[in-house]
Amino acid sequence: MKYKYRAVKPNRSQLSGMSPSQFKTLLKRKGYKLNRDFFKWGSVAYKNNRAYRFRYWTLEFFVDVSCPVKEFDRWANSVDKTIGFMDWMKS
């Protein structure tokens, strides 16, 4: 029997006051490539040959920046740096 894990869309408090569609629009305007099922499969976007994972499910909102995509193994091994969401917004 196969089980499929799909997350539900986050609420405004998890996304620092933005709705899910506003957040996706912000990412697209900043030049990130998104999958259609962005929130269902891990909230991962791509830009400049790197993967960015947006972690809103903890108490704080973080952005994990991966190593180059060709060297990517899995998130536990391939995170180059983790930054807070507000610091990411400023850059």
Percent of the chain with pLDDT over 70: 92
Number of H helices, E strands in the chain: 3, 5
Using CA atoms, how far apart are residues 52 and 67, in angstroms rounded to an integer? 10
Backbone torsion region of residue 79, taken as left when φ is above 0, otherwise alpha when ψ lies between -120 and 50, otherwise beta: beta
- pLDDT tens profile 20-56: 999 999 999 999 999 988 988 789 999 999 999 998 8
Say what the pTM is.
0.86
